[in-house]
A and B are shown apart, each in its own frame.
Chain A
Amino acid sequence: MTSRTSTYNFAYLDEQTKRMIRRAILKAIAIPGYQVPFASREMPMPYGWGTGGVQVTASILGPRDVLKVIDQGADDTTNAVSVRKFFQRVAGVATTTKTGEATIIQTRHRIPEQPLREGQVLVYQVPIPEPLRFLEPRETETRKMHALEEYGLMHVKLYEDIARNGHIATTYAYPVKVEGRYVMDPSPTPKFDNPKMHRSEALQLFGAGREKRIYALPPHTDVVSLDFEDHPFEVQKFDRPCALCAAEGVYLDEVVLDDRGGRMFVCSDTDHCETRRADGHRGELAGDTT
Chain B
Amino acid sequence: MYVAVKGGEAAIDNAHRLLADRRRGDRAVPALTLDQIAGQLALAVDRVMAEGSLYDRRLAALAVKQARGDLIEAIFLLRAYRTTLARFGYSEPLDTGAMLVERRISACHKDLPGGQLLGPTFDYTHRLLDEGLDGDASVEAGKIRAGAAEKVVRVADILADEGLIEGDGLATGDGPGDINHTPVEFPLSRAMRLQSLSRGDEGFLLALGYSTQRGYARSHPFAGEIRIGEVEVEVFLPELGFAVPVGRVQVTECQMVNQFKGSAKVPPQFTRGYGLVFGQSERKAMAMALCDRALRAEELGEDIVAPPQDQEFVISHCDNVQATGFVEHLKLPHYVDFQAELGLVRRMRAEYEARDREVAPVREAAE
Could you tell me the distance in whole angstroms from the C-beta of A139 to the nearest C-beta in chain B? 6
CA distance in complex: A203, B329 (Å)? 27
Could you tell me the distance in whole angstroms from the C-beta of A33 to the nearest C-beta in chain B? 18
B333 at the interface (CB under 8 A from A): yes
- In the complex, which residue of chain B has the Cβ closest to the Cβ of A254? B339
B83 touches A42 (CB 8 A): yes
B35 touches A1 (CB 8 A): yes
CA distance in complex: A257, B324 (Å)? 33
| B-side interface mostly | helix
B6 neighbours in A (Cβ, 8 Å): 76
B343 at the interface (CB under 8 A from A): yes
User: Given the known A-B contacts A110-B336, A266-B4, A287-B1, are A47 and B58 also in contact in the complex, defined by CB atoms under 8 Å?
Assistant: no
Number of interface residues of A (CB under 8 A): 69
Greatest chain B CB density within 10 A among A78, A108, A166 is at A78
Report B322-339 CB contacts with A as 1/0, cut-off 8 Å: 101111110011111101
A40 neighbours in B (Cβ, 8 Å): 183
Selected interface stretch from A150-158, A167-175, A216-224, A225-233: A167-175
User: Given the known A-B contacts A49-B329, A110-B336, A165-B348, are A139 and B312 also in contact in the complex, defined by CB atoms under 8 Å?
Assistant: yes
A81 touches B8 (CB 8 A): yes
Interface residues of A (CB under 8 A from B): 1, 6, 8, 12, 14, 37-44, 46-49, 51, 71-73, 76-82, 85, 108-110, 127, 137-140, 165-167, 169, 171-173, 188-192, 210, 212-213, 236, 243-244, 251-255, 257, 264, 266, 268, 270, 273, 285, 287, 290
Report B161-187 CB contacts with A as 1/0, cut-off 8 Å: 000000000000000000011111111
User: Given the known A-B contacts A171-B344, A210-B322, A212-B183, are A79 and B336 also in contact in the complex, defined by CB atoms under 8 Å?
Assistant: no
CA distance in complex: A140, B326 (Å)? 22
Given A47-B322, A72-B334: 11 more A-B contacts, CB < 8 Å: A1-B34, A12-B84, A14-B84, A42-B80, A46-B325, A47-B324, A72-B336, A81-B8, A254-B342, A268-B336, A290-B3
A39 neighbours in B (Cβ, 8 Å): 180-183
Number of interface residues of B (CB under 8 A): 55
CA distance in complex: A91, B93 (Å)? 39
B3 neighbours in A (Cβ, 8 Å): 290
Across the A-B interface, give the 7 residue pairs with the lowest CB-CB distance, nearest first.
A47-B325, A48-B329, A37-B183, A46-B325, A171-B340, A48-B326, A42-B83
B344 touches A78 (CB 8 A): no
- In the complex, which residue of chain A has the Cβ closest to the Cβ of B58? A1
Could you tell me the distance in whole angstroms from the C-beta of A281 to the nearest C-beta in chain B? 15
Report B295-329 CB contacts with A as 1/0, cut-off 8 Å: 00000000000000000100010000110111111
CA distance in complex: A169, B351 (Å)? 14
